[in-house]
Amino acid sequence: MTKILIASDHGGFVLKEKLKEFLVKKGFKVNDLGAHSKVRSDYPEFAYLLASRISSGKSKRGILICKSGIGNSIVANRLAGVRAALCCNIRAAKLSRMHNDSNVLVLGSLFVNPGLAKKMVSVWLKIGFEGGRHAKRLSLVRAIERKIRGGKK
């Protein structure tokens, strides 16, 4: 059974719950990192929690949801090895895997309804990384990460 992380703030809570149910039905083991209600919460805490597990190698893939998706992607992409892709359509989700080997899918509940989100997640989980010219570009991204962090990781 493939494990996937999922997290949201209050603004993404309803969509997160629908995606959790969808993923479980598809046979995934879903690790819900919060929020656990619609009570106002702070997206940076959830985005960091999920992204830190991806960055450390404890998990391979995750989904973050807030109202716009912008805040989550800003936080998640601060961690080494995290390639969080904010997507609002199926093509973007597909290309984020094929060209960027994204390991975190970020959704904005204001822009993606549950039906579209399910289709995007399905494609994102199914599509693999193309490699080739894109592998060279990811190497460049990793080199930039090392430069920013002063040679660490």
- Residues with catalytic roles: 66, 99
11 Cβ partners below 8 Å, 6+ apart?
43, 65, 66, 67, 109, 110
Q: How far apart are CA 55 and CA 34, in angstroms?
A: 18
Q: Give strand ranges (E) for 9-78.
A: 29-32, 62-66
**Do 148 and 76 form a contact (C-beta atoms < 8 A)?**
no
CA dihedral 87, 100, 95, 53 (to 10 degrees): -50
- For strand 84-86 and strand 104-108, is the pairing parallel, antiparallel, or unpaired? parallel
- Among 4, 9, 8, 139, smallest CA distance to 81 is for 139
